Structure 1
């Protein structure tokens, strides 16, 4: 059931991005499969801006376009979307019970005519881990 709801969320996120006006290239390939890699990141609430800045630096360094839209579940919570020809990365805010902590589910999707290899996906996850490691007390957990 959780996978089905994640697929629905991703499809809805794509639809929202189209309505909001994000570049059509992101939506040329719809994401309807399970993500190739999933990472959960937990940060202190007071480090959110640092975390989002590191996401943007990560995106710039690896030639991703990036858009920060409000999360559908919480308009005050940014929902970063990163994309390039071979990969889409969603940084989805998640509900979390920890006091003064925020959780994000980072989903990596290979796409396009020349999708990202498994080795390249591993490298992207490692690069993201290095970026998140610059955020004080961040927890980086690779779940898939």
Structure 2
């Protein structure tokens, strides 16, 4: 059996596991990520084989005007993930901070840096993109 990595929301009612991760994970400075995570940036990672262990019925979603969806726990409000327009729940990028253990992921970029908070400094050692990676 493959090792799986587990994560959860703040209250622990929503629990999930994944079998692996994308090699790319970026700190996103767009205003929606900043507001959704209540932080200077949101850090999300694409995952493989997402399974909901508990609390799937507690998931709530906010669909932004651009069609992207942010998912959170309706009990504690934890920001859990993001997905592009028309993507199914199982294709959600998960907030890296929701994992319960250290995961084998390295942040490799900073995206949407034109929208960063004035009080947040960028990491000089990481590539920075004013919009997404495909600019």
Q: Give the TM bin, normalised by the shorter chain.
A: 0.3 to 0.5
The TM-score normalised by the length of structure 2 is 0.34
The TM-score normalised by the length of structure 1 is 0.32
**Higher RCO (CA-CA < 8 Å; seq separation 6+):** 1
Q: Which has the higher helix share?
A: 1
